[in-house]
Structure 1
């Protein structure tokens, strides 16, 4: 579903061939996201790259995606392990619709990379809390 190269659907910060061709457009409900604010702000939905967080150079495409989980227990475990969210983070519930972008298949911990189309207001697909 994704096009390699410079696709106008994606932000200027996306590298060539990102999102990967394996990413698919589909509905996923529910999904969970770690945020620092409740209610969440627009900044709570920035990718690592947009937020200028560190990431390995070989993970640049993944750093352009928004991380979500499909399993509530798995995101609770992640919250306890990630220092930034451990004591002051929130878990919010939302959904992905196929019109918003493309997603990776969930990994063994139910983590999904969500590459969001340019101009989509992600916050509106999430509730304030779970």
Structure 2
């Protein structure tokens, strides 16, 4: 399957350890109380700053595999403090992901409806 933003990905992106698969639950901070498409845009799509050597990660969507790791992130970074944390799922149809230290990066396949899949 073709990854979203594949033409902009640096070599070895996604990393060799990234694979499709089902993961549930996963947690994501969203902008408002209602889940929308914008909640599944990556840093580049949202024009957020990122270090030049982190392009691969900036093209991924970030999730947490535990509420504790999400809470730790909100304590560490003010931008997460006023966001809503939602639980959902990732399926094999979403894309390729890699998890490190209870943080999951997901590189989406093209034309995936993450709002529908995440909510189940």
Is the structural similarity TM-score above 0.5?
yes
- Structure 2 counterpart of 1:111: 103
User: Would you say 1:123 and 2:115 are equivalent positions?
Assistant: yes
Q: Which has the higher contact order (CA 8 A, sep 6+)?
A: 2
Unaligned runs of 5+ in 2: none
Q: Following TM superposition, where does structure 1 have runs of at least 4 consecutive aligned residues deviating by more than 4 angstroms?
A: none
Say if 2:3 and 2:107, in contact at 8 Å, map to a contact too.
no
Q: Any idea what the Cα deviations from partners look like across 1:18-51, whole Å, max 9, x if unmatched?
A: 2222211111110000111111221111111111
Count residues in correspondence: 118
Alignment of 1:3-18 (within 5 A): 8-11=2-5, 14-17=8-11, 18=13
CA distance in 1, matches of 2:9, 2:3: 13
Relative to structure 1, the CA distance from residue 22 to residue 91 in structure 2 (aligned partners, 3 Å threshold; closer, same or farther) is same
SS at match of 1:60: helix
CA distance in 2, matches of 1:103, 1:12: 14
Unaligned runs of 5+ in 1: 1-6
CA distance in 1, matches of 2:7, 2:84: 27
TM-score w.r.t. length of structure 2 = 0.88
Shift of 1:107: 1.8
RMSD: 1.7
